Every structure is written in C-alpha cells, then in structure tokens.
Amino acid sequence: MCADLEITITNGSLRYHSTKNDQQNNAVIKDLNLTIAANKWTCLVGKSGCGKSTLIKFLAGLLNERTQWHGQLNISDNQPLAGRVAYMAQQDLLLPWLTVLDNVCVSSKFGHHNHSSTANLKQRAMTLLEQVGLADKHQLLPQQLSGGMRQRVALARTLLQDQPIVLMDEPFSALDAVTRYRLQDLFVKLLKHKTVVLITHDPQEAIRLSDRLYMLQGEPAFATALSLPTSLPPRRFDAESASHQQRIFDLLAHDHD
Ligand SMILES: Nc1ncnc2c1ncn2[C@@H]1O[C@H](COP(=O)(O)OP(=O)(O)OP(=O)(O)O)[C@@H](O)[C@H]1O
C-alpha cells in the first residue's frame, strides 16, 4: 500500500497522567514541531529518557489512556492515524510458543491487517519470510534463531500488517555491525513505500538512514531538525557522513552534560 501519508505536529505537548506516587505530572514533550515526510525515513535521536519512545507510542495510539495531548496533529489526508500504523518495538516481542510462521501471522489474530480474507495469510507470510531470507526457518521456534533472524521475523510480521506508517523503536540496537548494516539495507528496500519513523541512539545509523533527522532535546523535549549529507540513504560511510556523525555526537554529548 502506498498512501503518501505525511504527519505534521505543531506545538505538540504530551504529559503522562499523574499517579498516586507521582503528583508532579510534568510534560515530557512541549512545543514540538516536526514533519514526518510521506514515504521517507524520519529518524529521531536524543538522550535516553528525553521522550522519543513516548512520542512514537503516542503516534501508534498506545498511550491514549495514559497521556494528555495538546497541539495539532495533522495527517495529510485528514483521516485519523488509528488502524494505519505498524509499531515495531525495540524487543522483537516474538511469542516463544509459536513457530516463526505463526509469529509473522500473529497480528492478524488481533485484526491488525488490511486484508479481510485470512485464507491466503500464510501464503503472504511465507512470501515475506522468503524476502527476509527465512523461508526455510518457518517451522522453527524463536529460541532457535539468532538475534538478527528474530529481528527479520519481526520485520516480516510488521510488513504483513501492510500499514502505510511504520514506527520503529531501535530495531537494530542489539545486532552486530555487519548484521545491522545488512538489515538496514533490507529494511530500506522492503519499507520503500512506507512513511517510516526510526528511533536510534546511533549517530552512524541516523546518518545512514535518514531522509529527515530530528534531535529531541531539553526537558520537556522539543525537536530540532539536523542537516544531512547531500547523498541519498542508505548512505555509505564517507567523509561527508563522518562529519555529520561527529556533529550529532557533539550535540548528544552536549545534551548529556
Ligand atoms: N508510563 C509512563 N508513565 C509516566 N512516565 C513515563 C512513562 N513512560 C515513560 N515515562 C517517562 O517519560 C520520559 C520519557 O521516556 P521515554 O521512554 O519516552 O524516553 P526515551 O527517549 O525513549 O528513552 P530511551 O532512549 O532510554 O528509550 C521519562 O522521564 C520516563 O520516565
């Protein structure tokens, strides 16, 4: 599905409802302005605890009961986000008692997919497993897979939902450098016609994958757009990329001090 969905946030503010133990109820995000461009990768960086996950969980509709939102959230087609977002958490969240194939199909059990007929679901899941190079592993259990394989299963599960917006919270953080590099390429290829938001702690990954890049900083957090190399993602590690990476690192380090 290619829906060309752009998301614009203007003067966004988000706070968790206070609990009995914490009456402070401070905003996590305030004065947030950012644009998530249609069919592009928008990456978010920022120090731990600044509000990155809160922002994408909010966009995924996972915090509705727990947070209070102020501001404008505009979707380019003026339709709600609900039901059009696939969310991929940092952990792969595979169910240990289900096979790889059943894990890929699992979201269909909760109605999070766009195809009313489930007759060909397994066939589509197998096609996706082929694309991520795991067709021959479809009958294995998650504990029989490596970390990179598990992330590929999680990607296939996300793709099966076939939503136009994909939100990913550090999906590559637990992987070795080579697996990470290869999976980044695979994700770029398979998510080509999706509007993607990626959270990462890694300046190199942010530079390699971003069409747009924002840093969340401050308490409460706001977003600053950062410049990117002139080349297109996925970028090679050249001198221009290196200087942009250094700049992000310096900004993050400054925010830590
Ligand atoms: N359910 C919750 N209730 C109240 N406060 C929360 C809740 N979840 C997160 N927070 C607070 O919101 C702030 C932002 O947390 P969040 O997880 O969004 O940060 P993050 O930038 O994603 O961090 P990290 O990079 O470490 O994953 C933190 O101060 C955190 O304590």
Q: What is the pLDDT of residues 145-155, one digit of tens each?
A: 998 899 999 98
Q: Which of 116, 132, 162 is where one domain is finished? A: 162
pLDDT of residue 25: 67
**Structure token digits, residue 107:** 């979201």
CA of 70 relative to ligand 1 center, distance in Å: 18
Query: What 3-state DSSP class applies to 156?
Result: helix
Q: Which of 117, 146, 162 is where one domain is finished? A: 162
| Mutational test site, ligand 1, from 24, 28, 198, max ligand atoms within 8 Å of CB | 28
* Alpha-carbon separation of residue 1 from 30, 59, 91, 144, 220 (angstroms): 33, 19, 26, 32, 36
- Amino acid, single-letter form, for residue 208: R
- Count the domains in the chain: 2
137 and 121 assigned to the same domain: yes
38 and 107 assigned to the same domain: no
Q: What is the pLDDT of residues 8-62, one digit of tens each?
A: 999 999 999 876 555 566 899 999 999 999 999 999 999 999 999 999 999 999 9
CA of 48 relative to ligand 1 center, distance in Å: 8
Report the atom number in ligand 1 closest to the C-alpha of 55.
Answer: 18
* Alpha-carbon separation of residue 233 from 55, 184, 187, 204, 207 (angstroms): 24, 10, 12, 12, 8
Is 89 among the domain residues? no
CA of 53 relative to ligand 1 center, distance in Å: 7
**Structure token digits, residue 99:** 């096979």
| Parent domain of 120 | 95-162
Tell me, using a 6 A CB cutoff, whether residue 54 lines ligand 1. Answer: yes
Indicate if the pLDDT at residue 70 is higher than 60: yes
Q: What is the pLDDT of residues 165-197, one digit of tens each?
A: 999 999 888 788 888 898 899 899 989 999 999
245 and 170 assigned to the same domain: yes
137 and 59 assigned to the same domain: no
β-strand pairing of 212-217 with 195-199: unpaired
75 and 169 assigned to the same domain: yes
Asked casually if ipTM beats, i.e. exceeds, 0.95, the reply is yes
212 and 131 assigned to the same domain: no
Is 251 among the domain residues? yes
